[in-house]
Structure 1
């Protein structure tokens, strides 16, 4: 099996990391595991990983605040943020801080590998958090708007209030067609 590089798995759940580490190892990754921010930074300096799979909640530590610290040590690091607490605000903040992608738990190893390898054709080129990630975030926003609209029983004004948007802004967003996922090249 072809080696695909070192992957740093950062999560405070030891059972989850053991299972995911085994699954990612079987897919060709050399996996290093950290259970907190300090351990993650130490391993990043020592192992020089190409990829990192980072949990949002790390006990007393916060995965979002760890993203820029990891990138300061390893600017080429491709970071995937995992969370059981998915929200549009968190997804946007993760991308702004330098994560390359964002997935909600539960997630399987194949979805993680796809997210890590997405747009990874040129290993020497740093991927920015711009247009490459816009479709998934727009899709997440669309789904969130639809969920809030249903909770508001179709009342545009109430949904806009809950979303923190002006009513007309919400109407413009709803007038657009649903966002489609990108298909492969």
Structure 2
């Protein structure tokens, strides 16, 4: 039996609903309990990656339960999910090592928060193994005998550097409005969920290390395969998710007073959201034993689209306003 996520709350009805929500949003294995003792038994069985803890669990505090969990397994990532915690309790929880705090009023975000923490758990566990047993992802021979050299590139570490990354060149305008205008937009999202080696990293590897196109392709495929095998939530399978939606956008008319600051025009824009993953490679020359650290950046599509509107104000000011993210799957 495997449990990816454990939810502990003394309200059985609410807790079971939270578990269904996380299961539906993340696809992870989720278990709910009202019992702190049962929660500790599950952790002892080495089954739990993410714990979602209320701060009031009967007579037990969530922070006290988390401290006991850490004594058993310090790798567990915890989310304080409560509507009753005071500011001092939230501060104590974060100092104690909680990964995140979420109010119950923001329950719609719970699935995304849990999935992000599960992903971090997977990445940290993979990196811990790689530090002891680096894996060769590219074996390269170059030069002309007798000066021919063999260089091995080994995967040594994986870490997440940004969970909400959007590329500047991927923002797309889906609607444009002038003051007083109403427009209706029908859009279809088609997003491939995959891990890709970023272009800047490809260029750097080609320039600094002299990797040829076929070597870059071989390295990229090897990295995708290793990350897919070691990080369950970082699927490299290119599954396309398509969603069609109709939405109406409206911009208020210009005010009667022309001197009043107002929005003259607006662009509605969207862009894919990625996890940015930094991979550390260790290159070793088998001839002279020289070593070097090679950082590589990869992007993993999350299945979400960031949204924003870009306004041109009556005084000529241009203002971009982040309007959140939308799931496409």
TM range (shorter): 0.5 to 0.7
Q: Does 1:84 align with 2:68?
A: no
Of 8, 12, 15, the residue aligned with 2:13 is: 15
Specify the alignment match of 2:123 in structure 1.
122
Specify the alignment match of 2:190 in structure 1.
none
Q: Distance in 1 between matches of 2:34 and 2:69?
A: 14
Report how far residue 47 of structure 1 moved.
Answer: 5.0
Report how far residue 76 of structure 1 moved.
Answer: 0.9
Report how far residue 46 of structure 1 moved.
Answer: 2.3
Whether the 8 Å contact between 1:36 and 1:61 is mirrored in structure 2 is no
Q: How does 1:1-185 map to 2 (within 5 A)?
A: 6-26=4-24, 27-46=26-45, 48-109=47-108, 111-116=109-114, 117=116, 120=120, 122-124=123-125
* Matched residue count: 126
1:63-117 deviation per Cα after TM superposition (whole angstroms, max 9, x unaligned): 11111111111211110011112432111100111211111112324x1233331
Q: Distance in 2 between matches of 1:10 and 1:42?
A: 13
Q: Runs of 5+ in structure 1 lacking a partner?
A: 127-131, 133-180
Q: Distance in 2 between matches of 1:21 and 1:102?
A: 17
Report how far residue 28 of structure 1 moved.
Answer: 0.8
Q: Distance in 2 between matches of 1:86 and 1:80?
A: 13
Q: Distance in 1 between matches of 2:85 and 2:36?
A: 21
Q: Distance in 2 between matches of 1:114 and 1:18?
A: 17
Counting helix residues as a fraction of each chain, which structure ranks higher? 1
Report how far residue 7 of structure 1 moved.
Answer: 0.2
Q: Pick the structure with greater CA Rg.
A: 2
Report how far residue 122 of structure 1 moved.
Answer: 2.5
Whether the 8 Å contact between 1:6 and 1:47 is mirrored in structure 2 is no
Specify the alignment match of 1:153 in structure 2.
none
- Per the alignment, in what secondary structure is the counterpart of residue 49 of structure 1? coil
Whether the 8 Å contact between 1:11 and 1:55 is mirrored in structure 2 is yes
Q: Distance in 1 between matches of 2:113 and 2:22?
A: 13
Q: Distance in 1 between matches of 2:20 and 2:111?
A: 13
Counting strand residues as a fraction of each chain, which structure ranks higher? 2
Give me the TM-score of the superposition, normalised by structure 2.
Answer: 0.35
Q: Distance in 1 between matches of 2:87 and 2:55?
A: 14
Q: Distance in 2 between matches of 1:44 and 1:107?
A: 27
CA RMSD in angstroms comes to 2.9
Q: Distance in 1 between matches of 2:106 and 2:98?
A: 17
Q: Distance in 1 between matches of 2:43 and 2:35?
A: 12
- Relative distance call for 1:21 and 1:39 in structure 2 (3 A) is same
